[in-house]
């Protein structure tokens, strides 16, 4: 498939640690979506639909990866982490530094973290992993 490189098969740690049995990994769904796009079954504008705020967060708060965008091949993907849970804004919190995630993880309550890969250039985005955080 166009745009794949050997580096795309590497681990994607991002800011959300993979650590609990409740973690969900979305790599297979990602591959299925990209295969459908490559086969012409899904239009590019349907998969390059990142909201402006997500694209800004990818640019300014995300963790740059070494993985080329599978759609435009013109930009490296960024991993963006959001956390939702008690005493956080209803739209979640975008995590920009690892210390912030550690503080949330030590708090009482159940939080959910989402790791999303984003291309700031074309708007490709896909959830990579979700995980539970916090003391509960």
How is 62-116 classified by DSSP, letter by letter? SEEEEEEPTTTSSSEEEEEEEEE-TTS-TT-EEE-SHHHHHHHHHSBS-EEEEEE
Q: Which long-range contacts (CB under 8 A, 24 or more apart) does 7-10 make?
A: 7/66, 7/67, 7/68, 8/67, 8/68, 8/70, 10/66, 10/67
Give residue 19's pLDDT.
56
In the chain, % of residues over pLDDT 70: 83
Q: Looking at the predicted structure, is the pLDDT value of residue 120 above 70? A: yes
Is residue 20 very low, low, confident or very high in pLDDT (cuts 50, 70, 90)? low
Q: What is the pTM of this model?
A: 0.80
Average pLDDT of span 43-54: 96
Taking only the tens place, the pLDDT of each residue in 87-114 is 888 888 999 877 888 898 889 888 999 9
């Amino acid at each position: 498939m166009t745009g794949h490189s050997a580096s795309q098969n590497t681990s994607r740690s991002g800011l959300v640690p993979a650590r609990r049995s409740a973690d969900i990994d979305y790599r297979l769904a990602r591959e299925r979506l990209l295969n459908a796009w490559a086969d012409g079954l899904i239009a590019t504008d349907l998969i390059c639909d990142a909201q402006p705020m997500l694209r800004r967060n990818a640019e300014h708060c995300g963790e740059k990866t070494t993985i080329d965008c599978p759609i435009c091949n013109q930009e490296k993907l960024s991993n963006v982490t959001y956390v939702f849970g008690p005493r956080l804004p209803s739209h979640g919190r975008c995590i920009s530094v690892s210390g912030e995630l550690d503080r949330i993880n030590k708090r009482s309550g159940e939080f959910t973290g989402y790791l999303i890969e984003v291309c700031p250039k074309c708007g490709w985005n896909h959830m990579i992993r979700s995980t539970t955080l916090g003391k509960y």
